[in-house]
Structure 1
Amino acid sequence: MSADWRAERAAQIRALIQRADPGIVEEVKWRKPSNPDGVPTFSSSGLVCTLETYKDKVKVTFAKGASLPDPAKVFNASLTAGTRRAVDVGEGDVLDDDAFVELVRAAVALNESKA
């Protein structure tokens, strides 16, 4: 992870994920030469989401996002993907913390219903 605004934003998002489900498991996967730090993943009865930093954003991708309710319209990326949905957060963007926490909770509940 970078050491600028993206690291701070990623830490805030990580805290929201943990607030949604204190038992969620964080692991780093998919290490490769182009991404030696790997990708933080969050799981509870299956993959919930991933957290990645890019040059201009922090991206949270929900593995089964297309199946989740999103009345607050938090999802703003990968909207036409078959299964996943994502939240891209730029440096000055405002994230609806409560709505984001509800998305994580819904993703965990979906995983548990299929476990």
Structure 2
Amino acid sequence: MKEAEASPSQLIDAKVAALGDWRGKTLARLRSLIKEADTEVVEEVKWRKPSNMLGVPVWNHAGIICTGETYKNAVKLTFAKGASLEDPSGLFNSSLEGNTRRAIDFHESDVIDEEAFKALIRAAVALNTSQDRSKRA
């Protein structure tokens, strides 16, 4: 299979496999939780370039929910409209200074609060769909 022919889901699978360490396992688990929280989520891959041939996983539903980037010491999920979301569990721990995005940095020893994370995904979808409906009205 050539990368040009690969679907976004296949590219994300390849990224998880290529990482081959805790970051791949973490990204795979977060991806699974996103799909559990929103069965209508659409996976995309954006920002592919020579230095990052597999690109950045993006999860959409009536707009970007979040992106998943991997770094040496973290898996970062950036919520496109995170500043507009309630975060009662305090999951956001990165990119807190901006007016739009918020992010969660997951580190190797972190335990994911799966229910709080899925609630945040559902809140992001609700925000996207409410804004999408208001554009059509």
Same fold (TM over 0.5): yes
Letter in 1 for 2:80: A
Letter in 1 for 2:111: V
Aligned residues: 115
Superposed counterparts of 1:99-110, under 5 Å: 99-110=116-127
Max Rg structure: 2
Letter in 2 for 1:49: C
Instruction: Provide the identity percentage.
Output: 57
Q: TM-score, normalised by structure 1?
A: 0.97
Partner Cα separation in structure 2 for residue 61 and residue 26 of structure 1:
15
Relative CO higher for 1 or 2, CA cutoff 8 Å, sep ≥ 6?
Answer: 1
**Which residue of 2 is the match for residue 98 of structure 1?**
115
Deviation at 1:36, TM superposition (A): 1.1
Moved over 6 A (4+): none
Letter in 1 for 2:53: P
**Which residue of 1 is the match for residue 47 of structure 2?**
30
Letter in 1 for 2:113: D
Letter in 2 for 1:3: G
Partner Cα separation in structure 1 for residue 37 and residue 63 of structure 2:
15
Tell whether 2:26 aligns with 1:12: no
**Which residue of 2 is the match for residue 85 of structure 1?**
102
SS in 2 for 1:83: coil
Partner Cα separation in structure 2 for residue 89 and residue 11 of structure 1:
12
SS in 2 for 1:92: coil
SS in 1 for 2:93: coil
Partner Cα separation in structure 2 for residue 5 and residue 73 of structure 1:
23
Structure in which a larger fraction of residues adopt helix: 2
Q: Please provide the CA RMSD for this pair.
A: 0.7
Structure 2: gaps of 5 or more residues: 1-14, 133-137
